[in-house]
Chains A and B, each alone.
Chain A
Amino acid sequence: MIRLPRLGPIRTSPDDPRLFSFNNERDAIVHDVVERVTTGRSPGEVERLLADAAYEEIRRLESQRDAEASADLSGWRSRARRIHGMDAGERSAELARAASHYAWDIAGNFDPRVFRFVTRLVPTLLTGVMAPSTLPNLLGGDRWLGDRVLTQGDTDLLRRLSKNATLVITPTHSSNLDSVVFGFALERAGLPPVTYGAGKNLFTNPFISFFMHNLGAYRVDRRIRALLYKEVLKAYSCVLIERGYHSLFFPGGTRSRSGGVETRVKLGLLGSAVEAWVRSVVSGHERPVAIVPLTINYVLTLEAESLIREHLKESGRAQFIMEDDEFSQLDRWNTFFRKTLMMDAAVILRFGTPIDPFGYRMDDTGASYDSRGRLVDRRSYVLKDGVPAMDANRDAEYTRELGEIICQHFKRETVVVSTAVVAKVLFARLAQALPGLDLYQRLRMRGQVIVPREEVLADIDALRGKLRALADQGKLVLSPVVDGTPAPQLLERALSAWSGYHTRPAARWQDGGLVLEDLNLLYYYQNRLGCFAKDLAATTPAHASRAAEATR
């Protein structure tokens, strides 16, 4: 773990973000986590948890077969042999040791010096390195990059709310770059830094690892299947939120392979947010928890090719961790950034309305309101015999409902970008041209379909009319480019984004028509609109597009 040397504890001032105190509290946090996971368990539960951990860890480490694994493997084998001969006290102590090992492996680190360095210098350096033509304006790099990364939503409200509630940001997940652009957007919006769980595979890149290690990320090892590990991870997240650390986790769990917006979320870490709030109410010191759905919308996705490949193979679901995709290839990074930095609004982050653990809208004081504007008494949801109480079944159900509500917010806050519109139009043409074929047969028809330019432009205007009608109903959001760019330029923008970055262009010009070339890519980008299929089918264009009107 790479950390900068430090002689004494971090000194914080009252105005510093909460995360600045993290290192000073880390020991206490780990202690809380271990205690929470181990206390109050029956001897049978302790034995089952230990046996499960030994079984799962031996299985994992045997297949891992590296130097790191062999040391741990002998430890777990020895533990497995001893478990059944231990008395209850020994087993409890062994459980605490295992939980402590996991908790320290997960625990993050936050160095304010690295944070200040990143927030002050990285945008400028990144801009200068990736777009040398802007070097004369290097000092204005932050602003320049800011034109590429747009932030939408009521960030003023979130800033005020962050003083009265613990924020739990829950973004959509398309790329490993999400946390990088999110960090940049967060800082630009003047929002406090957050702690977050990052896949351990991301820590293999030394450059990324350094920042991850020092900016509050905690490590999530998805290879570990042991129930004990999952409990420690959830308890860690819960303790952080309870202690007022603003947090981020991707409720989808892993990057969207299909390119679509998440329509289902994983409930483990989300449950930790609900539990943290309930515990605060039970303790008599309610600290509101505000869940903030966020959509991250890329014109160009760094790992689109490998993600859609995995999706189509159907072997790369949640459990699959790609070690060697575009994220680990520096040349792809370079090309990606060059393309991205040439586009205005290349990434749009849209913060949704903050909601409480029951999905009710929150104001900046942390109060909740239902859909009719009535003040909601949150405490009433956790009362038992008139006093707040924990209840695992009830809270699991609240979490499940919260997951569904977050997905509704994701849909509503999806920003439709140019590549999604053009891909949707071209993919629809592919389906029209190849009736009777299933999806996989169609995807094999590379270069077989040519669509005349005028027809593509007409389709873009027609689709945009429908999307605008949906946007008017508050069902989605159009990016400024999609909203205000005439169809020919919109088409060119999408084609130019794809060409030169992806291995094969999604589509190319030939004799005044567009040849549909990389159908997997078209499929990937059009999937962003997949959750609107029913809405689009039931919608008639509200009115002619403003962009089309502008060209007349």
Chain B
Amino acid sequence: MTTDRERPVTVLGGGRFGRALASAVHRAGRRALLVSRSGIDIGGPPPEGVEAVGELARAVAESNLVLIAVGSDRMVEMARELGAVCSGRHSLVHGLRGLVTHDHGETLEPASVVLRRETDVRRVGVLAGPLVATSVLAGRPGGCIVASRYDECIAEVRAALTGPMLRVYRTDDCVGVEVAAALVGTLAMAAGFALGAGFGPSATAVLVTRGMRDAGHVGRLFGAHPETFTGLAGFGDLVAAMADEERPEVRLGRLVAEGRSWHDAIRQVGRVGVELTMLAPRIVALAKRSKVDVPVLEAIAGVLSGAFDTPAALRSLMERDLS
């Protein structure tokens, strides 16, 4: 009989992140099945030791653990496809750095909620933190965090990814990790902008620290624990983002600070840019509806929507009542 550890791990999504995960799985000594609807060749041939599989049902039938590395625009559709082929034995773990939107942005949902709703799978989790695709692909040391209410799910992810170059930490605050992962992108973009615009280290530090506090308040609306935002999923990921000049969120901020239009800058960094610029205003609208004060996120959303320019946004933050 096949034990759970002998089963291969399925990775969905042939982009950079999906390929990095599949590569980590292989490096941890497990069979990795990489499924990409758009074709593996989009991001190049599969990493060494990774099997490209064309059919989702076949890969899922062989695996217990499915790692999902698709964008928020595809998450609902992917969840529905998984719903047709997954059962109670599966663990579904996504690595989405964003929230799924419905009703033209009125409703924001963590992807774990979508997966629970669209499938019969209970063991749902999220993978986040300073997991840098290029580092993982290159086999450089790093770490990340997996969140799930199910110990089994966490154990599966650890067994699938942990290796000499990758440490996997754990938490049960699934929704906290999801909100943190989503808002780190926004703060990384703001940090990129601040650095590019010459705000200086002090202002940048205040911006991201107070911004993370805002993120924690938003997280609480979803039922997250505040301490999640000070851990790997929050500050950990933000530090990694700021240290990585290639991170699209930071690049987006820098490009705008250098005088590019938002439209231009988004075109340069790709789909991530579109998601980022849509998320902040939606988060702020949610916070306002819930009477939660998020001044830094509000300033970022104001700049993104064109409601005010950078000096005005900076003034709005600097002139706030300190009491």
Say what secondary structure dominates the interface of chain A: mixed
| Contact status B122-A386, CB under 8 Å | no
A residues 347-385 touching B (CB-CB < 8 Å): 358, 360, 370, 372, 374, 376-385
A19 → B minimal CB distance (Å): 32
Tell whether, in the assembled complex, residue B1 and residue A394 are in contact, meaning their CB atoms are under 8 Å apart: no
How far in angstroms is the closest Cβ of chain B from A106?
A: 31
A381 touches B89 (CB 8 A): yes
**Bound complex: CA A379 to CA B2 (Å):** 17
Contact of B122 among A358, A379, A383 (CB under 8 A): A358
Interface of B is mostly: loop
Of B1, B3, B152, the residue contacting A391 (CB under 8 A) is B152
How big is chain A's contact interface, by range?
20 to 34
From B3, B122, B151, give the contact of A393 (CB < 8 A): B151
Q: How far is the CB of A503 from chain B (nearest CB, A)?
A: 40
User: Is there a chain A Cβ closer than 8 Å to B29's Cβ?
Assistant: no
B120 to A398, Cβ gap below 8 A?
Answer: no
Q: Do the beta carbons of B4 and A385 come within 8 Å of each other?
A: yes
Closest CB of chain B to A264's CB: distance in Å? 14
Q: Is B149 an interface residue (CB 8 A)?
A: yes
Question: Is A16 an interface residue when CB atoms closer than 8 A count as contact?
Answer: no
Q: Is B311 an interface residue (CB 8 A)?
A: no
Whether B150 lies near A397 (C-beta < 8 A) is yes
- Name the one of A372, A376, A380, A397 contacting B89, with C-beta atoms under 8 angstroms: A380
Q: Indicate whether B83 reaches chain A with its CB closer than 8 angstroms.
A: yes
Interface residues of B in 120-137 (CB under 8 A from A): 120, 122
Interface residues of A in 383-436 (CB under 8 A from B): 383-387, 391, 393-394, 397-398, 400-401
Closest CB in chain B relative to A267 CB, distance in Å: 13
Query: Given the complex of chains A and B, what is the CA–CA distance between A380 and B119 in angstroms?
Result: 14
CB-based contact A393/B150 at 8 Å: yes
Known: A372-B83, A376-B120, A386-B2. A381 touches B150 (CB 8 A): no
B87 within 8 A of A: yes
A523 vs B149: C-alpha distance in the bound complex, in angstroms? 37
Residues of A within 8 A of B83 (CB): 372
B-side interface residues, number (CB < 8 Å): 14
Q: Which residues of A contact B89 (CB under 8 A)?
A: 380-381, 383
Q: Are B151 and A394 in contact (CB under 8 A)?
A: yes
Q: Are A385 and B1 closer than 8 Å at their CB atoms?
A: yes
B306 at the interface (CB under 8 A from A): no
1/0 per position for B136-169, CB-CB distance to A under 8 A? 0000000000000111100000000000000000
Say whether B3 contacts A385, CB under 8 Å: yes
Question: Contact flags (1/0) for B68-87 with A, using CB distance below 8 Å?
Answer: 00000000000000010001
Please, how many angstroms separate the alpha-carbon atoms of A370 and B3 in the complex?
27
User: Does B88 interact with chain A (Cβ within 8 Å)?
Assistant: yes
Residues of the B chain whose Cβ atoms lie less than 8 Å from the Cβ of A384: 4, 152
A156 to chain B, nearest CB (A): 27
Between A and B, 18 residue pairs with Cβ closer than 8 Å are: A358-B88, A360-B120, A372-B83, A377-B87, A380-B88, A381-B88, A381-B89, A381-B122, A382-B88, A384-B4, A384-B152, A385-B3, A386-B3, A387-B1, A391-B152, A393-B151, A393-B152, A397-B122
